[in-house]
Amino acid sequence: MSSEIIQVRDVPAEDARALRARAAARSMSLSSYLRELIHDDASRPEMAEVLSRIASRDGVEASPAAIRSFIDDDHR
């Protein structure tokens, strides 16, 4: 797997401190933590793609009572 060097400039100091603290809390280096964040974000589909997939699905007919029953069943 190839990789690239990415440099981010002008990160506010308080954001950098928060990221370092989050990385430390997970026993990770800042670079490893940021690499994980980038990978997680890049692995997710874009919102437009998600909405397009949802819009392409067939609709489902359900009465308000059926919806309430489904929600109540899920809470049990």
pLDDT score recorded for residue 76: 64
pLDDT score recorded for residue 39: 97
User: Where are the domains positioned within the chain?
Assistant: 1-57
Residue 38: partners with Cβ closer than 8 Å, 6 or more residues away: 6
Q: What is the pLDDT of residues 2-48, one digit of tens each?
A: 999 999 999 999 999 999 999 999 999 999 999 999 999 999 999 99
pLDDT score recorded for residue 30: 97
Q: What is the pLDDT of residues 38-61, one digit of tens each?
A: 999 999 999 999 999 999 999 889
On the CB side of 63, CA atoms within 13 Å amount to: 3
Largest Cα span, the chain: 55
pLDDT score recorded for residue 74: 73
pLDDT score recorded for residue 70: 87
